[in-house]
Structure 1
Amino acid sequence: MPDAKPIILFTAFEPSGDDHASAVIAALKRDHPDADIRAWGGPRMRDAGAEIIARTGDDAVMGMPGLAKIREHKRINADIARWVEQHRPTVHVPVDSPAANFPVCAITKRAGAKVVHLVAPQLWAWGPWRIKKLRRLTDHVLCLLPFEEKWFRDRGVPATFIGHPLFDHAPDTETLDAAIADWPDGHPKIALMPGSRPGEMRANFALLLNAYNRLAREHPGMRGIVAATKDEVVPVLRRLAKDANTEWPESLEVRCGATDAVVRWCDLALVVSGTVTLQIARQRRPMVIVYKSSRLLWALIARWIIRTPFFTLPNLVAGREIVPELVPHFTGADPVADRAVALLESPDAAEAQRRDLAEIASRFEGHHAADEAAAAIARFAGLGPSTPAATGESRVAYQV
């Protein structure tokens, strides 16, 4: 028998989705303490106040093989279908991961739930023909990038730009400065951001390391830090360097779970394309962005389906190239190092990039993604006005 009380169901299948959803769940529980929130999700969603029906996202970190992942998602979908039939959620909030979430949306839609997408599927980048499917499977899309609202609305999909969680709270520079006070000094200071997914690290880490080694030979006083997402990633990176016969120099250290501090510390970042580029932009640090791809797969498939002039988030938001992007990248480390040298040896070029990054960061001002998402979801769930005790002072910081 369906539950009488409105139920909000979140489904997130990657650590990034766990991050996005957790801040929104915390805001919902702050404004509506009695809200019934269930989830297929991760530990941060649990800590924010959701009842976790099943844990997800661990395979995204460990790198489950393709066929095993397909079988796993079929099992998850069957479990969700049984649960939905029994509990009949009022609102379903799919978080990112459209390939995993679209089948779940079909299940919840058939059961009568309103579907509110948290993080817009990037149909503007590739697969725009899927817009018809999205129209069928969503009631509203909550967009994290400024240009997305118009793109979806122009194609008949209700959408709202809510800001981006990375910009909900300014970095605490005093705390960051204290954290990096005893970190290595040198000039220049280079950050390596190898990504969080196993495939990203396999494809790109040796490339970043080779670029770093060339820069180190040309700048003897240089120091570097690799920003690893968690302790378990460190031996993976060490093994990738060894497998590629790439030297790991003494000048290069690793810090885990401290991305904002690494950004604060560095003069320049060499970064694998992804959301972290906005995290760097938030602190106005110059960067070179790369994403190594298969030339064959690009020629056969990707070049025909990708529809954007740029691939990286700062350039997409700006509508022009403000950051050097080597995406897709098919060759070695020299082009990455060359673009880094251009920024290191030209203070004017580095300052121009900092100004441009400040301008795109300003486009997120006036929004608080977690609060605006929570308010929209609450409206669809019929939860009514928030409790009087809810104030901006109680906002929960988005964790990075």
Structure 2
Amino acid sequence: MDTINTASHQTLAELTAGAGATRRLRIALVAGEASGDALGADLIAQLRQRHPDAVFAGIGGDAMRAAGLEAWFDASELAVMGLAEVLRHLPRLLKLRKSLRQQLVNWQPDVFIGIDAPDFNLPVERWLKQRGLRTVHYVSPSVWAWREKRAQKIGRSADLVLCLFPMEPEIYARHGIDARYVGHPMADALPLVPDRDAARAQLGLSPRPVLAVLPGSRLGEIGRLAEPFIEAARLVAEQVPNLQVVIPAANAACRAALEPLLAATPFPSPRPQLLDGQAREAMVASDVVLLASGTATLEAMLAKRAMVVGYKVAPLSAWIARTLRLLKVKRFALPNILANADLAPELMQEDCTPEALSAAVLQWLQTPAAIDALQSRYAQLHAELRQDASARAADAIDALVHTTPSKAA
């Protein structure tokens, strides 16, 4: 989407409001992918409750537009992943950032809110903060996992960091940075008691055992994980009669990559069911989830499902991370990190084999009492994360708006 033509500091909404009107609160937001668009839409709704006359502008998707954002660019403009793709799009992204910064300076928002997308948003935030504008970064990068000193850089960009996890503000506090724990929006969205029967009915599944297999949402992950995950599911199916295996494909490209692997794997009846999306429904419908490490582990925890977590990176990447000791955590799955305990088996790199994965899945299926105990612990973690995140974020932003802006060092 091209930029809108802004001859003055006003949005189109303000231009139509009539001359001489009192200046309305101006809130700029930038989100770069579907998850950020959803966060932004909920945040706009909460801010509008506090400031009914506020105007919102920046970068967002359909959800933020529906909530009232005047989008200068579409969120899809920032949805670039992978080093090669970023390099290919770099000239366009730099041009977009330059145009955005100029429009923001012209418009003079009362606060700028960068939602996730740290590679794009943090430089914009720092540039604006240096010019005396208030800045917020919503969704902290994983400073608890690697390179804690990034917190200092983030503090030079943002007056306020809004954190989704309770262990994050303490890290920022060590560097003198204002960071607030607001809770996780996903914990607000998912029910405390998931409805397995409804999910199975929606997917056409019977009451027999269900294994959900999620080898990642990116082609690189599928290239490394789909083969051992699918072979692990086959080994489990040989031990569990009538096991129903469901495999959500994040998009058409992922489906195309999964189909030949499934066709070449001799599963006993019934054959696995390849789904278009519906990852959450598959998790809720399942007895056990076999999945890649990442945000999906949090979703499986909130669905109260036993899980086995596997992951592989390229051998060179693994060697560099180990040699340079880049990772600062002993655990990788978010439920384990939040609980500071080994709630879900983690099989990483060389340990991520079909035999090890299938053995861990079978262990869950054969010990229902362990699953019952796990669900109770997951429910406790869910309650801790369920803080009405969007409302708490809006309260923190509202307080910042009424403080004096500071400049970066």
Tell me the TM-score range normalised by the shorter chain: 0.7 to 0.9
Question: Aligned pair 1:194/2:215, yes or no?
Answer: yes
2:130 corresponds to which residue? 110
Choose from 244, 247, 257 the match for 1:239.
257
For 1:62 and 1:55, locate their aligned partners in 2 and report how far apart those are by CA, in whole Å. 16
Give the number of the structure whose alpha-carbon radius of gyration is greater: 2
- 3-state SS in 2 of match to 1:168: helix
Shift in Å, 1:178: 3.8
For 1:130 and 1:289, locate their aligned partners in 2 and report how far apart those are by CA, in whole Å. 27
For 2:220 and 2:79, locate their aligned partners in 1 and report how far apart those are by CA, in whole Å. 10
For 2:95 and 2:351, locate their aligned partners in 1 and report how far apart those are by CA, in whole Å. 37
For 2:264 and 2:85, locate their aligned partners in 1 and report how far apart those are by CA, in whole Å. 26
Q: Which residue identity is paired with 1:151?
A: I
> Is the 8 Å Cα contact of residues 212 and 245 (structure 2) preserved in structure 1?
yes
- 3-state SS in 1 of match to 2:330: coil
- 3-state SS in 2 of match to 1:128: coil
Question: Aligned pair 1:15/2:70, yes or no?
Answer: no
Gaps (5+ residues) in structure 2? Answer: 1-7, 11-22, 404-409
| Structure 1 residues 75 and 49, CA gap change in structure 2 (3 angstroms) | same
Shift in Å, 1:301: 3.6
| Structure 1 residues 144 and 237, CA gap change in structure 2 (3 angstroms) | same
- 3-state SS in 1 of match to 2:363: helix
Choose from 165, 173, 179 the match for 1:159.
179
Choose from 279, 282, 286 the match for 1:259.
279
- 3-state SS in 2 of match to 1:304: coil
> Is the 8 Å Cα contact of residues 187 and 385 (structure 2) preserved in structure 1?
yes
Of the structure 1 ranges 351-360 and 89-98, higher mean CA displacement relative to structure 2 is found in 351-360
Question: Aligned pair 1:33/2:44, yes or no?
Answer: no
Shift in Å, 1:58: 6.4
Shift in Å, 1:150: 1.8
Shift in Å, 1:140: 1.0
Deviation per residue, 1:155-191 (Å, 9 max, x gap): 2111111111012144296977445326222532011
Shift in Å, 1:311: 1.5
Which aligned pairs between 1:308-323 and structure 2 lie closer than 5 A? Answer: 308-323=329-344
| Structure 1 residues 202 and 109, CA gap change in structure 2 (3 angstroms) | farther
- 3-state SS in 2 of match to 1:107: helix
Q: Identity rate of aligned residues, in percent? A: 28
> Is the 8 Å Cα contact of residues 224 and 253 (structure 1) preserved in structure 2?
yes
Question: Aligned pair 1:349/2:370, yes or no?
Answer: yes
Q: Which residue identity is paired with 1:242?
A: P
For 1:350 and 1:97, locate their aligned partners in 2 and report how far apart those are by CA, in whole Å. 36
2:293 corresponds to which residue? 273
Gaps (5+ residues) in structure 1? Answer: 384-400
Choose from 287, 290, 294 the match for 2:314.
294
1:79 corresponds to which residue? 99
- 3-state SS in 2 of match to 1:305: coil
For 1:322 and 1:41, locate their aligned partners in 2 and report how far apart those are by CA, in whole Å. 37
Length-normalised TM-score, structure 2: 0.83
> Is the 8 Å Cα contact of residues 217 and 254 (structure 2) preserved in structure 1?
no
Shift in Å, 1:382: 4.4
Length-normalised TM-score, structure 1: 0.85
Q: Which structure has more RCO (C-alpha within 8 Å, separation ≥ 6)?
A: 1
The alignment of Structure 1 onto Structure 2 pairs a total of residues equal to: 379
